[in-house]
Structure formats: structure tokens, C-alpha cells
Amino acid sequence: MIGQTFFENLGESANPVFIKEMRQYFQNRRMVLLMGLLLLVEFICTLFFSSASDYSDDGEAGVVFFLLVITGGAILSVLICSIGTEQRFAEERSDKELNYAMLTILKPASIILGKLEGAMVMILCIFSLLLPFLTAAYFMRGLSAAALLLVLFMIPPLVLVTLLGILAGAFGKRWITILYFILLINAAFSVVPAGFSIAQELMEGAALDPEFWIGLAIEYAVSLLIGGLLFLLSVAVVAPPKSNRLFAVKLYLFLLPFFTGAIMAPLYLAFRSTGTFTKEIFYAVEFLFAGGAFGTLLLISLFEQPTAGIRVYTKCPRNFFGRLLHFIFSTGFCGSLVLAVPVMLIPAAILPFMKFSRSGEIGAYAFLCMMFTVLSAVLLSQILAWGTKLRLAPWVWTLIFLIVGNAGVLIPVIANDGYDNISKPVQILGMQFSQIFTFIEFIEDNSTRSVIPSAMHVSAIVSGVLFLLISPIFFKAFRLHRHPGDSDAIKTPTAEMLKK
């Protein structure tokens, strides 16, 4: 009961959900068992690596052992903090325990925050347990201090995966849990091997130079922005039924490009003299988030459009500017539709602009923007199909995706005569699918020029299938907001309602 005494002494101001979560973590036999298992495995590895002369002699023992230790820590963090939290949260939903918590004076945001805090402390605990092994790795040679600090790069993805687990658990539905596991498995097969190989490559020449800090800063900034969205979505899902429960999400999405600018601009100004943080990177992140944010706003609006409801009709301002603002922020209306469409077109419009202004060279950011726009468009077309009751068979939509998605990712490659003109960030993007690379390399051609386009081709397919699987989550989430008072007006299209 050491844990109990410790948590009894926590300040009275601590989030009750955080305290409950910590009690649950430390009293869960499975978790204790997993932690014990990790320690045992790491201990055995330490004995092996410290005695294996092959590794000690060529100075690689430290690097390999370090990677093993942090990979073990990451896997355990995902198991305990993401999957564990998702499972517990989903159970709380199905057992109606969350309902009872909502009957107290706790706010939905406090509940999500408490769960996130608990998971973060657990990640900290797991990596604290691994500190002796990390120290041992350092003494095994071949590992610089900078390489050790690479562990900092692991924290943002772990936080995001945890938030994803919380979001999936917030729904409390079995099929959402299945989707969540599909996502995790896909990530395990694509991101983890790629991450491992990137980490190994980086560790070879790891140094605490500006590039290191820029990379770290960008990763944290981007994760913060995505994490904010996942957090707000989770809060919206668990919030009790009320009108405009998605308001915070919509506001966040609307402001996301500005947040991005506000975070990235100081980074750019601080590091531009190094020549590593280029304008292109700045624009790429900015447009990526702008496209994504407005695309998601559009997505929400598509759900809201057919079931505006009498409440919106009575509250909608009659003057132009008032109505425009209503479009953007009001739940239950075709919010943001008017604004989102032109903004969505901006990233796509950049592509030809770049084509002509840079003598045929496509900037990485334009490529990213286009890829994102294409994927968003495909996703939105599916949502539109649901939203407008245009129910085509799923295989038809999959086919449409395959055609549009593949054409989308291949165009820039073809336009630039293959791999040589694609800049480094795009190549890194392709590394996510490194195992598919290897496969295609084997069956097609050993030349890199053909591997990259094919890999991007495959990446589009995989991403599209993933989007296809994810889209029902959005469908479910964005229908939750509907006010009971709107049910009488469900069958009346908004446009007709406004004419009256």
C-alpha cells in the first residue's frame, strides 16, 4: 500500500480523476506483472550485452542495447497507457460509471485531463524504471550523450497514442475499439520499423547541433497541435448532451492555422540563421494544418447540414455577417461550409503555382499539401455520401478512393520525372512504409527511382483504407451533438427551413 500512502498525501487540489487513475494503475495486477516482466527482460538483456564480446569489441553494444531498452519502454507505455486506458475508459462507458462521474461537479475536460495526467505519470514511471538500463547502455560504449537524448523524441508520439486511446475509449463502443486496434497494428507495422531505422541512422551521427533542437521543437509543436484536437474531441464525446458541444472543437480547428503560425514563427526566427529551418518547412506545416483544420470543419458541417433543426432556424441571424459567423460556429447548421471550401482549395492551388514559379521543381510542402488535400477530399466524399444519404456500396467508395488517391500521389512524381526531384522531407514521409518499400524493391526493380513512386502509391492505398475505416468514428462523433429539440425538424432540410 505504498502507492496508497503516497497518493493520500497528494494535494487536495489534485484532479480526482487523476488520483483514481493512479490508484487503479497501481492496483492492477496485469500492469504490475507487465512492469515486472519488462524489468526482467531488460535485466537479462543487460547481462547478455555486457558479456557478449562481439558487441563490446566493435563498440555497437551501447547503441543496440539502448534501442532495445527504449523500444521496450515504448511498447510497455503503449500497452499500459494507451491500450490500458482505452480499455478501462470503454468499460467505464459501458458500465455507466462515467455517467455517475458526470453527475458530480466534475467538468468533462477534467475527466479527460485526469486520465491524460495519469497516463503521463505512468510513462514517466516506466522510463524512470529503465534509467538504470539506459545508464548501463551508456557505459557499454558507442553511445553519445546526444544519442541518449534521442529518447526525448519518443515522448510526443507516446502522448498522441495515449490521447488516441482516450478518444477511442470515450466512445465506449466495441467497434471503435476494433478500429483503434487496427490503427495501432498498422502503426506498429509502418511507423515503428521506420522509427527504429530512423533512430539508428540518427544515432550514428547524433550531435546536439541546431538540427537536433529544430527537429525536437517541430515534433513537439506539431504533437501539441494534434494532441489539442484529440483532447477536445474526447471532451466533446464524453460531454453530456447539450447544444453545440462541439463548439470548442470547431473553434480550435478554426484557430489551428493561427496557433500553428504562432508556434512555428518563433522557431523559424530562432533557427533560420542555421539554414536548416527553411521557409518551405514553415509553409509545409502551416498549410498542412490549415488544410486539415478546415477540412475537418467542413466535415463537421456536412454532418450538421441535413439536420439543422428548428433551434438553429430560430437563432440564425438574418444579416449577412451575422449569418456568416453562424455558418462557422453554430452547431446544427452548415457551419464552416462556406468558409472551408475556398480554404481547402488553397493548398491545391499552390501546386501549379510552385510548378511555374520554380522552374519545374515542386517544393516538399506543396507535395505534402496536395497529398493531404487529396486524402481529405476522398474522406470528405465518403462523409458526404453518408451525410446526404447517397448510399453507395462501400466498394464503390473504395474504388473511387483508389483512383483519386493514386492519381493524386503519382501526379507530382510523374511531373517531376521521378525521385530525383522530390526533396528530402518527402522521402522521409515515404519511409513510414519502409517494409512495403522492401517488398516492392524485391518484386519490381532494385532502382530507387522506381521504388519511391511505387511506395507512395502504396502509402496512398494504405492511408485511404485507414481513412475509410476511421470515417465512421467521425460520423458517430459528429452526430452526437444533436439537440433533442431538433428531432422534430430532422426531416426538414435546412435550406427549406430558411426559406420559410
Partner 1 sequence: MKTEVRNLSRIFGKTKAVDNISFSFEDGNIFGFIGPNGAGKTTTIRIMATLDLATSGDVFYDGVSATLYPEAVRRVVGYMPDSLPGYKDIQVWEYLDFFARSFGLKGAERTRALNDIVEFTNLGDLRFKFLFALSKGMKQRVSLARALVHNPKVLIMDEPAAGLDPRARLELRSLLKILAEQKKAIFLSSHILSELQDICDGAVIIEQGKLLSAGTLNDLLAQVNGTPPPSAQTPQAGQTAAPADVSGAGAASAATQQPAAQLTSIVIKTPRGEAEPVRLKLLEHPLTHSAEVIDDDEVRAAVGGTDAEVSAVVGTVFAAGLTVLSFNRNQMGLEELFMKITQGKVS
Kindly list the residues in this chain that would bind partner 1 in the complex (CB under 8 A). Answer: 12, 16-17, 19-20, 23-25, 27-28, 91-92, 95-97, 99-106, 240-242, 483-485, 487-488
CA quadruple 428, 397, 347, 262: dihedral sign: negative
Q: Where are the alpha helices (DSSP H) in 416-443?
A: 424-430, 434-443
Minimum gap (Å) between residue 145 Cβ and partner 1? 39
Q: How far is the CB of 241 from partner 1 (least distance, A)?
A: 5
Tell me how far, at minimum, the Cβ of 3 lies from partner 1, in Å. 11
CB of 210 to partner 1, least distance (A): 46
Cα→Cα distances 262→225, 258, 265, 310, 325, Å:
11, 6, 6, 39, 23
Say if residues 441 and 451 touch (Cβ distance below 8 Å). yes
Helices 155-171, 61-77: crossing angle, 10 deg rounding: 20
CB of 36 to partner 1, least distance (A): 17
Q: State which residue, 16 or 394, has the beta carbon closest to partner 1.
A: 16
- Would you say 2 or 443 has its CB closer to partner 1? 2
Nearer to partner 1, 91 or 496 (CB): 91
What is the Cα 362 distance to its own chain's centre?
26
Q: Considering beta carbons, is residue 25 or 268 the nearer one to partner 1?
A: 25
**Judged by CB, which is closer to partner 1: 24, or 450?**
24
Nearest distance, CB of residue 283 and partner 1, angstroms: 45
Output the smallest distance, CB 334 to partner 1, in A.
Answer: 22
Closest distance of CB 237 from partner 1, Å: 16
Give the nearest distance from C-beta 26 to partner 1 in angstroms.
8
**Residue 261 exposure: Cα atoms within 13 Å on the Cβ side:** 7
CA distance 117 to 201: 32
Q: How far is the CB of 150 from partner 1 (least distance, A)?
A: 34
CB closer to partner 1, 246 vs 409: 246
> Contacts by 492-498 with C-beta closer than 8 Å and gap 24+?
493/306, 494/305, 494/306, 494/308, 494/312, 494/313, 494/333, 494/334, 497/308, 497/310, 497/313, 498/313, 498/316
Q: Which is nearer to partner 1, 100 or 139 (CB)?
A: 100
Cα 325 to Cα 373: distance, rounded to the nearest angstrom:
24
Neighbouring C-beta atoms of residue 225, cutoff 10 Å? 21
Closest contact distance (angstroms) between CB of 95 and partner 1 is 3
C-alpha cell at 434: 519502409
Specify the residue, 236 or 380, whose C-beta has the smaller distance to partner 1: 236
DSSP track, 92-127: HHHTTHHHHHHTTT--HHHHHHHHHHHHHHHHHHHH
Indicate the residue among 23 and 173 with the shorter CB distance to partner 1.
23
Q: Considering Cα of 390, then 396, then 400, then 402, what sign does the dihedral take?
A: positive
- Considering the complex, state which of residue 87 and residue 398 has its C-beta at the smaller distance from partner 1: 87
DSSP track, 272-293: GGGTSS-HHHHHHHHHHHHHHH
How many angstroms separate the Cα of 137 from the Cα of each of 23, 83, 148, 266, 494?
32, 28, 9, 36, 64
Tell me the angle at which helices 337-357 and 279-304 cross, rounded to the nearest 10 degrees: 150
First to last CA, the chain: 67
- Indicate the residue among 19 and 52 with the shorter CB distance to partner 1: 19
